[in-house]
Every structure is written in structure tokens, then in C-alpha cells.
Chain A
Amino acid sequence: MSHPITGNRRSVVIYSLVWLMVSVTQGVLYHYFLHFSLAVLVSDALTSNLLFGFLGLLAWYPTRYIPFQRQSPLYSILAHVVAGIVVMGIWVLLTVGILNALFASQTDYTEFLNQTVAWRAMLGGLIYLVLVLIYYLVSNNQKLQERLQQEERLKGLVRDAELNLLKSQINPHFLFNSLNSIASLTMTNPDEAREMIIRLSDFLRYSLKHRENEYVPLSEELGRMKDYLAIEKVRFGEKLLYEFDISEECEEFPVPTMIFQPLFDNAIRHSVYESVDPVTIRFSCMRDQGHMKAVVSNDFDPEVPSMKGTGLGLQNVRQRISLAYKEKGGVHWTGENGVFTVSILFPRIYI
């Protein structure tokens, strides 16, 4: 946040004009009620007001760095009182010191000066308080503007992310081919067609949950992923095999919904689609010191020239994990010896 006065030229001019008016007013009052020489009047007004004007600018910094906390206002007030006393101390000492030195010969003025030290300090304190309040107003307003802008930006980001997720989540190939399989099964095997519709519904309903960006126990997430694989199994038959190795300690671990879907989708798209031999997709997970590591792997034929670009789905997963867990989580993948492996590290979280 920039300084509200020195930050732009207009504020500097206004601030200077205010202090010039105060100086003139002070000079005029002194002239009518106290009969000192013009040099004394001008010097007093300029010295005290120029110094205050400068110190007043510094009052921004305590305002900036002592945030007003609703929970403990006492702390903030105390901090400002201390800062105020320090600033006013410097101001009074400097003003009185300079003026005393300038007009040492005019004893009636120096006497007056020394008598009004307490008044000056009190008046200065009041003005200081007003300045601090103004600064708070300005800074709150600035913060509000910034927050509004940030919120707007975040909303945009969230919208984009959601859109991308929705787009990437359900591969249209999967959806329409599944519907075609169901159409076929209604004639050859109506019971299986019904089962497949139920699985597809469960899976689609679950994928819509995604928008709420919630966490579910791993067992629930994997339940829906099994639905997904079972649907694909109807399409691909013996070509698609899958094994799940879920240790009991992992079952309740909370994971973001649909986080594994792109992994299974990738495995199917890049190996089952492109292969004529059976492909096995494996899932395993383990707990370690509160963390959970989940691994999805599949066979692939490195000889087959790939039709599609890789990694978009995986980038998506990596982005979600980093959004959810910052640097504590992680996604890694390797493709070696005909096995493609993706592992996700979930840190322990409290919900």
C-alpha cells in the first residue's frame, strides 16, 4: 500500500495547503492576542507547523503496521499512544529547541514558549489523533478496494478452473460410447443394461459433486472410480483388467472428489484405447506418518506411436493438488519399462 499523501501529487498539494492555512491562522491569532514581532510570529508558525507536517506524514507508518484488531483493541491503542508520545516528544523538543535557540535574546517570547510546552503537546496530540483516524479511514478504504479487486480476480480464476475441470472430467468419448453400449445391451442383455445405467448415474452424480470442491473418504472416491472402470469394462471386455489394493488405514483418508478420475481416464485413453492386448490398471496406497501416498499404474506399449498429446489431465491433477495442499502435496509420474506410474502424495489435513 502506498502512502496516501506522498503517494500522489494532489494529496501533497492539499496537505501542504492545509498546513499553510494552519500556519496563517496561528500567525494571525498570535498577532492579535500576543504582541510579538513579525519575525517571531512567522518563525514560530513555520517551525512548529513544518515540523508537524513532516512528522504527521510519518504517522502513516504506525497506522500501516499496527493493524487495528477488533479482538484486542487495547494492544493497538497502546501501540498508537506510545508512537504518538514518541512523535509528539520529538516534535515539542525540536520546535521548542529551535525557537529557543533562534530568539534567545527575547526573554518574554522564550518565557511564553516554555510556558506553552504542555499546551502545544496536548494540541499536537489531538491533531496527531485526527491524522491517525484519517489514515485508518484511507487505509481501510484502500484495503477494501484491493480486496474487491482480488475477489474479482479469484472469482475469474475459480470460474476458469471449474470450466476446465468440467471439460476435462468427462471424456465425451466415454459418455457416448457408454450410452451406445447400453443401447446394445438393452437388446442382448437387459439386466446388464440396467446395471450399467445405474453405474453411469452414480458416476455422473458423483462427478457433479465436484463443483462443491469437497473432500470425501478415499473409499467413496474409489467406489465411484470402480463404477467408471466397470462401465469401461463393458465396452472393452477382457482387454481391460484392474486391481485395487487398498489398505484399511487408507479407507477413511479424505481426498478431493474426482481427483483420481483423470488418472484412470488417462490409463484407459492411452493404453486400453491403443492396445489389442489386455491392459491391467493397478491402484495401491499406503499411509506414512499421517500422509497418504496413492499410486495408479498401467501397462502401455512404448512402441505404439501415440495419437494424442499426453499430460493435460495430469497437469490438471497437479494443479488441483497444489491448490488444495500448497507445497505439502505432490504429483509425480514416470513411464518406464512399459509401465506408466502416477503417484499422488496427500498430506494430513484437518477438516
Chain B
Amino acid sequence: MKMTSTKIIIVEDERPARDLVRTYLKEFPDLEILGEYDNGFDGLKAINELKPDAIFLDVQMPKLTGFELLEVLEHQPEVIFTTAYDQFAIRAFERNAVDYLLKPFSKERFREAISKLKLRLESKQKGVKEESGIEKIRQHFAESDERLHRVVIKKSGKIHVISTGDINFLEAQDDYVMIYTDEGKYLKQQTMKYFEQHLDSQQFVRVHRSYIANITCIERIEPYEKSNFVLILKDGNKVPVSRSGMQVLKENLDF
């Protein structure tokens, strides 16, 4: 094996699509396929363990989507998206992923993507300090107005996928946000602003500088100290409400 061989992992849930990428890759003997995975969970595990230089990543996959996978990845390879339909505003990520291939793609288009990948890897080797592509992809998602349906969290080595509807409330903790559900609490490196922006505003209200509450989980609202209020949630937790938070609550709950 050559020392310069580039290690590749394919994460794609459809067999014919994996076949296609593998067949196209045959003409590049310096690219070595470490493995192929048909769902996000297995792909994630393999990427963290095998540490490939680049991954071919489908977006629509069971268990964990391509974007969710990138969120919790420890090892950060270069990414080439392969997707059928531009539903996820892929174009916004174009500059940051090495490339994105819209299925079905031609051999020429594939070669182009590989050339870009090699260029990117070369400049990386030369030590050109570049912000990681994945970091930019994450940033782009944070700035978009894409609605969040579930949250992926790493907790003691395990990956938890939480439906946003199961979140009772969120609490700011420095650079992190603590997410409270009936199953337990999860710490996620993210800003309150991010959650305020991406959670369904019909359901989640920023009641306090440090708190976002799921209004379907509110049991009652009680006065607290002078002119402040506190939410008593169905799970027994108490969430403070600021004066401006109370205004927003009044509008949302219509009282």
C-alpha cells in the first residue's frame, strides 16, 4: 500500500448508490475504501474509529441524517455530500463541504469532486491553516432558518436522538445548553439563540434570558417574589419567568 493513499468511508443507505460510488472510485487506485455503512449510527462509529480522510455522505438516512452525524462527529474528515434532492438547502453548504453530488451524477462530475478533494487534502498537508469544513457546515445550519425536529446529543459515549417534542425545557449553562426531558437531562454545546431560532416558536418560548420552556409542558404559572413569575412544569420542575418572558407567554397562551 502506498503511503499517500487517501482513506475513504461511504455512508449511504441504498445499496445501488453505494455500488455506484464504489464503481466510480475504481479508477482512483490511490483512494482506499475503508468501509461502507448503510445508516448514520454505524457510519458515525466507523468514522470516529477508522479516522478516514474523507467521507461520501448521504443526507437522508435512517436513525441519523448526514447533518446530524456531522454534528456529533469527533474525527473531522472532508465531506462530499451525495443527495438526491435539494430539500435541505444543500447549496448553502456547497462552499464548505468539498463538494455535493446531486444524484444521479456522471463520472465526469465525480472526477471533478475527487480533484477538489485532493486539492483540499494537499493544502491541509502543507499545513495551510483552514477552518474545518465541518465547522462551517455547522455554522451555516445555525444561521439558516431550518426547523429543528430532533436534537442529537453525545452523552457518556452514547448518541441520543431526542425528538424536540419530548423536550420539557432548556437551560443556559455558559457555552452549553442543558436539555431536560422526562428521560433525563442532556448537555449540548450550543447557544440559546440557536435553539430559540430553530425550535418551533409555537411550542417553545424564551421565558427568561437563561430558559426556554415547552409551553405544552406547563402545569401552572405562579407569582414569585415581587413582580416575577415561575412556571411549574408537569414534571415538577420550576422555571423562572422574566417580565419580558411573561409578555411573550401571554401572547402565546392567549391570556
- Residue numbers of A with Cβ under 8 A of B are 172-173, 176-177, 179-185, 187-188, 234-237, 273-276, 304-308
> Contact at B63–A307, with CB atoms within 8 Å?
no
A234 to B19 Cα, complex, angstroms: 12
> Contact at A307–B20, with CB atoms within 8 Å?
no
Cβ-closest chain A residue relative to B164: A305
> Contact at A184–B149, with CB atoms within 8 Å?
no
For residue B62, which residues in chain A have a CB less than 8 angstroms away from its CB?
273-276, 304
Other-chain contact of B17, A180, A187, A273, A274 (Cβ < 8 Å) = A180
Cβ-closest chain B residue relative to A309: B149
- Is B84 located at the chain interface by the 8 A CB criterion? yes
Other-chain contact of B16, A235, A273, A275 (Cβ < 8 Å) = A235
- A182-B104, A184-B20 are contacts. A273–B60 as well, Cβ < 8 Å? yes
Interface size on B, residues (CB 8 A): 30
Cβ-closest chain B residue relative to A272: B62
State how many angstroms separate the Cβ of B241 from the closest Cβ of chain A: 28
A236 to B14 Cα, complex, angstroms: 6
> Contact at A235–B20, with CB atoms within 8 Å?
no
State how many angstroms separate the Cβ of A29 from the closest Cβ of chain B: 74
- Is B161 located at the chain interface by the 8 A CB criterion? yes
**A-B residue pairs in contact (CB < 8 Å), sample of 10:** A179-B104, A181-B14, A183-B104, A184-B16, A185-B16, A274-B63, A275-B62, A305-B150, A305-B161, A305-B162
> Contact at A184–B63, with CB atoms within 8 Å?
no
For residue A235, which residues in chain B have a CB less than 8 angstroms away from its CB?
14-17
Cβ-closest chain B residue relative to A308: B149
Tell me what chain A mostly uses at the interface: helix, strand, loop, or mixed.
helix
A184 to B104 Cα, complex, angstroms: 9
- Residue numbers of B with Cβ under 8 A of A are 13-17, 19-20, 23, 38-39, 41, 60, 62-63, 65, 84-85, 87, 102-105, 149-150, 161-166
State how many angstroms separate the Cβ of B104 from the closest Cβ of chain A: 4
A235 to B13 Cα, complex, angstroms: 9
Cβ-closest chain A residue relative to B23: A187
A11 to B63 Cα, complex, angstroms: 72
A304 to B16 Cα, complex, angstroms: 25
Q: For the A-B complex with A180-B103, A182-B104 known, give 13 more contacts whose Cβ atoms are closer than 8 Å.
A: A172-B87, A173-B60, A176-B84, A180-B16, A187-B19, A235-B14, A235-B17, A236-B13, A237-B15, A274-B62, A276-B38, A276-B39, A307-B150
State how many angstroms separate the Cβ of B23 from the closest Cβ of chain A: 5
State how many angstroms separate the Cβ of A186 from the closest Cβ of chain B: 9
Counting from the closest, the 7 A-B pairs by CB-CB distance are A305-B163, A180-B103, A184-B20, A176-B84, A181-B16, A184-B16, A183-B104
Other-chain contact of B20, A173, A183, A275, A308 (Cβ < 8 Å) = A183
State how many angstroms separate the Cβ of A195 from the closest Cβ of chain B: 13
A308 to B161 Cα, complex, angstroms: 15
> Contact at B103–A307, with CB atoms within 8 Å?
no
A26 to B13 Cα, complex, angstroms: 95
For residue B60, which residues in chain A have a CB less than 8 angstroms away from its CB?
173, 273
> Contact at B84–A172, with CB atoms within 8 Å?
yes
A332 to B162 Cα, complex, angstroms: 29
Cβ-closest chain B residue relative to A176: B84
A44 to B19 Cα, complex, angstroms: 103
A236 to B16 Cα, complex, angstroms: 9
For residue A185, which residues in chain B have a CB less than 8 angstroms away from its CB?
16
For residue B87, which residues in chain A have a CB less than 8 angstroms away from its CB?
172-173
A183 to B103 Cα, complex, angstroms: 9
> Contact at B19–A184, with CB atoms within 8 Å?
yes
> Contact at A177–B14, with CB atoms within 8 Å?
yes
For residue B63, which residues in chain A have a CB less than 8 angstroms away from its CB?
274, 276, 304
A307 to B62 Cα, complex, angstroms: 10
A308 to B87 Cα, complex, angstroms: 12
State how many angstroms separate the Cβ of A63 from the closest Cβ of chain B: 52
A195 to B51 Cα, complex, angstroms: 39
A308 to B102 Cα, complex, angstroms: 21
- A172-B85, A179-B103, A236-B14 are contacts. A305–B19 as well, Cβ < 8 Å? no
A176 to B20 Cα, complex, angstroms: 14
Other-chain contact of A180, B20, B38, B162 (Cβ < 8 Å) = B20
A185 to B149 Cα, complex, angstroms: 34
For residue A305, which residues in chain B have a CB less than 8 angstroms away from its CB?
149-150, 161-166
For residue B23, which residues in chain A have a CB less than 8 angstroms away from its CB?
184, 187-188
A177 to B39 Cα, complex, angstroms: 16
A184 to B84 Cα, complex, angstroms: 14
Cβ-closest chain A residue relative to B40: A276
A187 to B106 Cα, complex, angstroms: 12
A318 to B16 Cα, complex, angstroms: 35
Other-chain contact of B103, A176, A187, A274 (Cβ < 8 Å) = A176
A177 to B102 Cα, complex, angstroms: 10
State how many angstroms separate the Cβ of A41 from the closest Cβ of chain B: 73
> Contact at A180–B149, with CB atoms within 8 Å?
no
Cβ-closest chain B residue relative to A188: B19
State how many angstroms separate the Cβ of B77 from the closest Cβ of chain A: 23
Cβ-closest chain B residue relative to A274: B62
For residue B149, which residues in chain A have a CB less than 8 angstroms away from its CB?
305-308
Cβ-closest chain A residue relative to B86: A172
For residue B166, which residues in chain A have a CB less than 8 angstroms away from its CB?
305
For residue A236, which residues in chain B have a CB less than 8 angstroms away from its CB?
13-14
